[in-house]
């Protein structure tokens, strides 16, 4: 095997999950770069984080990465520098760089035009229609349409979901009550939130959707690895049982059971290969009991923050990156549709027991916990020290306070 060094972009739980995957599979310490430090990678011995000023800006990002790549190659001419973006901002920056960094790094990225079509929820739904992939009934409004009040005449009733089409721009918007996405019960609530969004400086389109009834247990999350030759090598489906209810993290998965659906796998694989995708794709979808279909919400152009659940269940994501980009290994054309038997948790087990709805899925998960068939991203026995242990306990206490304050039963909105 060729020598390689993972370079990860970001400092969040997604980065830690990838660093852990590399450490588990290869015993290697990853290097990470970000514009600020987040808790999940603090006090770690498996990932070295460097904070770079203005690293979320294209010019600074490109300049730093070119200098970093040149310096690393000069010192390590026989080592492959494997570059992996672990967040929306960094995936977007890398797509804007195109091939400029390839003299020093190997990486997956999409051309900027395709990246933008997939990242913007409004254009993503148009692509879904081309491939006959179901998605929620959707109305999209640009800034001028919002100024005219066009959103007051929706083609569907309440409740509705509202989310920004441009999730990267949304990260920089601040106002009281801001969330990643909203579930809205009344026209008055919609009026208030959409006006606040644009007054706070948001400029891109806003997506308003028919709310699919039911709670977190009707969600599904799918991760796929597509190699540099646009072939889907692996797919793994998860069944979320609980999401984070806090405003800044609403919608982030907190507990996931492994799942399997060959029809979903085949339809998404055909879509990914049809558009010439490469890299990890992360899809969120929800089962609609009204017409018995899974409806796509979005695609993330990188592994999701919960994607360690794929590695946990035996399909180590680091190995797919290495086999593809470092080794360019042979592929027989047979996509692996993963099956698993381990529950993934980001939260304390007490939160799981308290807030997950009582049903057969919860009983299955509780049996997994009892038998030891579960795991979390952050609690890695080979990367534990007193400071890190205290940090994780502190994070878990924050989760407990967040659920106590913000949790609602989404099923009540059906």
> Does residue 192 register a pLDDT over 50?
yes
397, 400, 401, 404 alpha-carbon torsion, rounded to 10°:
-170
Q: In the predicted model, what is the mean pLDDT of the chain?
A: 94
> CA–CA separation, 282 vs 285, rounded Å?
10
Contact yes or no for 246/200 (Cβ under 8 A): no
Would you state the pLDDT for residue 412?
Answer: 45
Instruction: Give the pTM.
Output: 0.91
Q: What pLDDT does 176 receive?
A: 87
311, 287 Cβ separation under 8 angstroms? no
Whether 341 and 121 have beta carbons less than 8 Å apart is answered as: no
| pLDDT tens-place string over residues 346-403 | 999 999 999 999 999 999 999 999 999 999 999 999 999 999 999 999 999 999 999 9
Confidence of residue 242 (pLDDT cuts 50, 70, 90): very high
Partners of 210 in the β-ladder: 160
Please give the residue that has the higher pLDDT: either 31 or 414: 31
Give 180's pLDDT tier (boundaries 50, 70, 90).
Answer: confident
Determine the pLDDT at residue 50.
98
Q: What is the pLDDT of residue 413?
A: 47
3-state percent helix, strand, coil for the chain, nearest multiple of 5: 40, 20, 35
Buried b / exposed e along 184-199 (16+ C-beta atoms within 10 A): beeeebbeebbeebbe
List, in sequence order, every beta strand (DSSP E) within 62-111: 80-85, 105-106
In degrees to the nearest 10, what's the CA dihedral of 373, 21, 85, 68?
A: 160
pLDDT in tens, 337-346: 999 999 999 9
Decide: 10 and 307 in contact? Cβ < 8 Å.
no
Predicted confidence at residue 409, as pLDDT, reads 62
Q: Which two tokens stand for residue 84?
A: 């992996």
d(CA 88, CA 10): 10
């Amino acid at each position: 095997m060729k020598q390689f060094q993972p370079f990860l972009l970001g400092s969040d739980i997604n980065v830690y999950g990838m660093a852990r995957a590399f450490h588990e599979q290869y015993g290697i310490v990853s290097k990470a770069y970000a514009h600020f430090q987040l808790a999940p990678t603090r006090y770690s011995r498996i990932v070295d984080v460097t904070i770079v000023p203005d690293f979320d800006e294209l010019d600074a990002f490109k300049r730093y990465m070119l200098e970093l790549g040149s310096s690393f190659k000069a010192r390590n001419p026989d080592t492959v520098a494997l570059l992996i973006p672990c967040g929306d901002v960094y995936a977007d920056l890398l797509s804007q760089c195109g091939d400029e960094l390839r003299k020093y790094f190997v990486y997956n990225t999409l051309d900027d035009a395709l990246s933008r079509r997939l990242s913007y929820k409004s254009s993503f739904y148009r692509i879904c229609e081309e491939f006959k992939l179901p998605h929620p009934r959707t109305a999209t409004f640009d800034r001028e349409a919002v100024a005219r009040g066009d959103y007051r005449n929706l083609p569907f009733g309440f409740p509705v979901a509202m989310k920004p089409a441009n999730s990267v721009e949304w990260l920089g918007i601040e106002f009281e009550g801001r969330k990643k996405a909203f579930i809205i019960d009344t026209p008055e609530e919609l009026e208030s939130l959409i006006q606040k969004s644009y007054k706070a400086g948001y400029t891109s389109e806003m997506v308003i959707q028919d709310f699919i009834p039911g709670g977190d247990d009707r969600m599904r999350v799918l991760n796929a690895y597509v190699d540099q030759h646009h072939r889907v090598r692996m797919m793994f489906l998860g069944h979320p049982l609980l999401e984070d209810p806090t405003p800044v993290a609403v919608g982030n998965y907190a507990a996931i059971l492994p799942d399997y659906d060959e029809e979903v796998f085949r339809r998404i694989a055909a879509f990914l290969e049809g558009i010439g995708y490469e890299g990890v794709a992360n899809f969120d979808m929800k089962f609609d009991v009204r017409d018995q279909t899974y409806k796509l919400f979005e695609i993330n152009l990188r592994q999701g923050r919960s994607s360690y659940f794929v590695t946990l269940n035996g399909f180590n994501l680091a190995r797919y990156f290495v086999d593809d980009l470092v080794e360019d290994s042979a592929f027989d054309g047979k996509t692996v549709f993963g099956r698993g038997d381990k529950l993934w948790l980001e939260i304390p087990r007490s939160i799981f027991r308290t807030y997950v709805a009582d049903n057969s899925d919860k009983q299955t998960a509780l049996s997994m916990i009892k038998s030891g068939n579960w795991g979390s991203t952050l609690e890695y026995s080979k990367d534990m020290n007193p400071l890190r242990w205290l940090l994780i306990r502190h994070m878990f206490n924050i989760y407990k306070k967040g659920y106590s304050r913000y949790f609602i039963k989404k099923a009540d909105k059906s």
